[in-house]
Amino acid sequence: MNKCKEIPGVRVGHAQDFEAATGCTVVLIQEGAICGVDQRGGAPSTRQTDSLRPIHLVEQVHAVLLTGGSAFGLAAADGVMHWLEERHIGLDTGVMRVPIVPAAALFDLRIGRADIRPDAAMGYAACDAATEDFSSRAGTVGAGTGATVGGILGMAGRMKGGLGTAVIELVPDLLVGALFAVNCFGDVVNPASGKILAGALKLPEGTFANTLQMLSKMPHSFTGVVSNTVIGVIVTNAELTRGDANKVAQMAHDGLARAVRPAHTMFDGDTIFALSTGKGQIANVNAIGSFAAEASAQAIVNAVQEATSLWDVPALRDLSLHQLHQ
């Protein structure tokens, strides 16, 4: 299987504010795409996800937005809608075209400035910045700008999360890509070895606390820190039904669980969208879903590998060899 950077018909754009430590990322499919969603965390913040279920009317979406700013940041979807409306893209209602833009937000308000969040202007700017290079940017960018990981000891022990991507070519011209903003309560681990790459740090020594082990010792009254969520988009050019797309989104959570330990807690709002452009060949949904999980895990690891420190939150690349091999 080969890796590549482009998925035909798909453009990705980012906008961010480093002073405020927030941003958003848009996946544009101007010709429309089948979309499914699977939400598993206990604290989600989403927009227009109900319409993606197979029993509902809308067949295609025109963009998916991932954003910081918690529920405030969902306002950035308005800017994506305005950008698409200006180009006469959307569901034809007979009166006008209404762009369909599902969105999910993560909580990044504890670093930077909590009073500045992604808004319509930032969503519009992300669309303007979109390119066909699916993997052009990663790390502290877009929806991953203010993302952090490892929340069990509070903000002082968190490390930098970010935005990550991966594209897998199953067979010639059959592609599965993943784009994730990683802001998890748990630790990000190497799926092959289980070793922690980024997560909660014990201070002052700066070694990994190991969230899973610490969680077993927490009292019943422990409520965590509501500052988390992994949100992502799977994109394939395989031809899928809406039911298939929902299944692929569900299977992609397997990759999230391989790379984040623990995942899907009550402190996370883990949400994954799955898009099918239908520009490739008909494919077995089991294969697409299985490789969606692989791409998801790769994208999550890529997010912390490419992240850079911001507002004194250290990144993986800042750690010493002693810390990495503890």
Is the Cβ–Cβ distance between 233 and 292 less than 8 Å? Answer: no
Which has the minimum average pLDDT: 43-47, 61-65, 86-90, 103-107? 43-47
pLDDT at 225: 67
Is the Cβ–Cβ distance between 166 and 178 less than 8 Å? Answer: yes
Confidence of residue 221 (pLDDT cuts 50, 70, 90): low
Using the 8-state DSSP alphabet, how is residue 107 labeled? -
CA 252 to chain centre: 12
pLDDT at 222: 64
Domain boundaries, the chain: 11-324
Is the Cβ–Cβ distance between 231 and 106 less than 8 Å? Answer: yes
Confidence of residue 17 (pLDDT cuts 50, 70, 90): very high
Burial (CB count <10 Å: 0-12, 13-18, 19+), residue 226: middle
How many angstroms separate the CA atoms of 306 and 170, rounded? 25
User: CA nearest 316: which of 162, 103, 170?
Assistant: 162
Beta bridge mates, 92:
97
How many angstroms separate the CA atoms of 4 and 6, rounded? 6
How many angstroms separate the CA atoms of 13 and 259, rounded? 25
Instruction: Taking residues 173-200, report their average pLDDT.
Output: 96
Question: pTM for the complete prediction?
Answer: 0.94
Instruction: Taking residues 248-259, report their average pLDDT.
Output: 98
**What is the per-residue pLDDT across 86-101, written as a single tens digit (0 to 9) for each?**
999 999 999 999 999 9
pLDDT above 80 for 218: no
pLDDT at 321: 45
Q: Could you tell me what percent of the chain has a pLDDT over 90?
A: 78
- What is the Cβ-side half-sphere exposure of residue 139, based on CA atoms within 13 angstroms? 14
Instruction: Taking residues 169-182, report their average pLDDT.
Output: 95
Buried b (16+ CB within 10 A) or exposed e, 149-176: bbbbbeeebbbbbbbbbbbbebeeebbb
Average pLDDT, the chain: 92
pLDDT at 323: 53
Which has the minimum average pLDDT: 57-61, 172-176, 189-193? 57-61
pLDDT at 136: 83
**What is the per-residue pLDDT across 103-141, written as a single tens digit (0 to 9) for each?**
999 999 999 999 999 999 999 999 999 999 998 899 999
**2 or 295: which carries more pLDDT confidence?**
295
pLDDT above 60 for 3: no
Instruction: Taking residues 76-93, report their average pLDDT.
Output: 96
How do beta strands 97-98 and 91-92 pair? antiparallel
Provide the 10 A C-beta neighbour count for residue 195: 13
pLDDT above 90 for 80: yes
Instruction: Taking residues 193-197, report their average pLDDT.
Output: 95
pLDDT at 55: 82
Instruction: Taking residues 273-301, report their average pLDDT.
Output: 94
Confidence of residue 320 (pLDDT cuts 50, 70, 90): low
User: Does domain 11-324 correspond to CATH entry 3.30.830.10?
Assistant: no
Provide the 10 A C-beta neighbour count for residue 193: 8
Phi/psi of residue 120, nearest 5 degrees: -60, -40
pLDDT above 50 for 295: yes
pLDDT at 322: 44
pLDDT at 1: 42
